[in-house]
Structure 1
Amino acid sequence: MTPELALTELRRGLEVALWVGGPLLLTVLVVGVVVGIVQAATQLNEPTIAFVAKAAALTTALFAGGSFLLAYLVDYTNALFQRIPHLIG
C-alpha cells in the first residue's frame, strides 16, 4: 500500500465520520445554544434542563435521520470491503 493510497483511505474514513456524526453534533450544538440563551434570559441555571433538552434533540435526530446515516455507513463499509484486494495487491 502506497502512502498516497493510505492517505486517500484515511480521508474517506474521516469524511464518513463527518457525514455520520456531523448532523447529530450540529443538532446538539444548536439545542445547547438555544437552551443556554433561554436559561441566561430567565436566570434558570439548572444543568439538567440543558442535558434533557440535548438528549431529546439527539434522540429525535437519530429517529429522523438514523436510517440515512446507517445506510451511508453501510455503503462505505461495503465499498471498503470491495476495495481490500486493490489495497493489498
Structure 2
Amino acid sequence: MLTPDIAVDLVTDSLHVVMLLVVVLVLPSLIVGVLVSLFQAATQINEQTLSFLPRLLVTLLIICVAGKWMTGYLMDFCVDIFHRAATQLG
C-alpha cells in the first residue's frame, strides 16, 4: 500500500538524485561559461563559438570523468526503489 509518507519519501529521494546529477554536470559548465564571458567582456571579443565550445568540452570531460560514478549512483537508486516496492507489495 502506497501511503502519502512513502510517496513523499520517494519524491524527495528522486529529486535529491536528480539535483545531484544535474549539479555535477551543469556547475562546471556554468563556471567555465562565466570565465569565458568575463574574458569576452575584457577583450571585447564577441565570438559565439568562443562561448559555446569550452562549455561543451568541459561538459564532455565531466561525462568522461564522472560518467561511471553517475551511472552507478543512478543504478543504485533504481535498485533501492525496486527493493522498496518489493517490500511494500510483499
Aligned residue for 2:55? 54
Consecutive unaligned residues in structure 1, runs of 5 or more: none
- The answer to whether residue 81 in structure 2 is matched with residue 69 in structure 1 is no
- Aligned residue for 1:44, secondary structure, equals coil
Aligned residue for 2:22? 21
Residue 88 of structure 1 deviates from its aligned partner by 4.5
What do residues 21-73 of structure 1 show as CA deviations (whole Å, max 9, x unaligned)?
11111011001000000010110111221111110000011111111111100
TM-score (norm 2): 0.91
Consecutive unaligned residues in structure 2, runs of 5 or more: none
Q: What stretches of structure 1 move > 2 A for 4+ residues in a row?
A: 85-89
TM-score (norm 1): 0.92
- RMSD over aligned CA atoms reads 1.2
Aligned residue for 1:10? 11
- Aligned residue for 2:82, secondary structure, equals helix
